[in-house]
Amino acid sequence: MSGSSTKSASLLLLRTGTGLLLVLWGSLRVMSPGAGPGLATKYYGGFLDLQSVQLGFGMVEVIIGLLVVLGLFRRISYALQALILVPGMLVLWRYLLDPLGLYLLDKESSQILFFPSITIAAASLVLLAFRDEDRWSLDHVLTGRRPTA
């Protein structure tokens, strides 16, 4: 695989992984209306914990996630994805600094599963930084530029 193909494949994987994450989170908010407010209360200090807000946010997450997976409207969809994933990671700072509950959290409230949020946030920023080089996106194909090998 050439360097260009490797970069394109890597960006496709990042796009697919981060976009599907938004689709899954959004779907959870839409299909389990009580889940969104519960998560907002537990991990985000009650910020936007109204069920109707969570339902709307879930639908927006699904749409943004699908746009990211397809590579459509990249200038907007990648930025919106980053606006969801990066602050989402920052809010969890205690879980990132102390995933094992050794000094900031107690053992019961520690949560190692939040640690990959750093990687997800970074992936969304990488997509933004390299969006013009994402040759296998639908945007790129629709503009008539052929993907390079």
Domain count, the chain: 1
- The 10s digit of each residue's pLDDT in 51-72 is 777 788 889 999 999 999 999 9
CB 87 within 8 A of CB 99: no
Domain assignment present for residue 32? The answer is yes
Domain assignment present for residue 22? The answer is yes
Range of the domain at 34: 3-81+117-136
Domain assignment present for residue 15? The answer is yes
Question: What does the pLDDT average to over 116-137?
Answer: 96
Q: Which residue has the higher pLDDT, 27 or 3?
A: 27
- Predicted TM-score (pTM) of the model is 0.85
CB 5 within 8 A of CB 149: yes
Domain assignment present for residue 88? The answer is no
CB 72 within 8 A of CB 138: yes
Give the integer Cα–Cα distance in Å for 115 and 122: 12
pLDDT at 134: 92
Domain assignment present for residue 69? The answer is yes
* Tokens coding 68: 């990211």
Give the integer Cα–Cα distance in Å for 28 and 34: 9
Return the closest-CA partner of residue 23 out of 86, 57, 65: 65
pLDDT at 41: 63
Domain assignment present for residue 28? The answer is yes
The residue assigned the tokens 């969809």 is 77
Domain assignment present for residue 64? The answer is yes
Domain assignment present for residue 147? The answer is no
Give the integer Cα–Cα distance in Å for 111 and 82: 23
> What is each CA distance from 99 to 102, 108, 116, 124, in whole angstroms?
8, 11, 10, 22
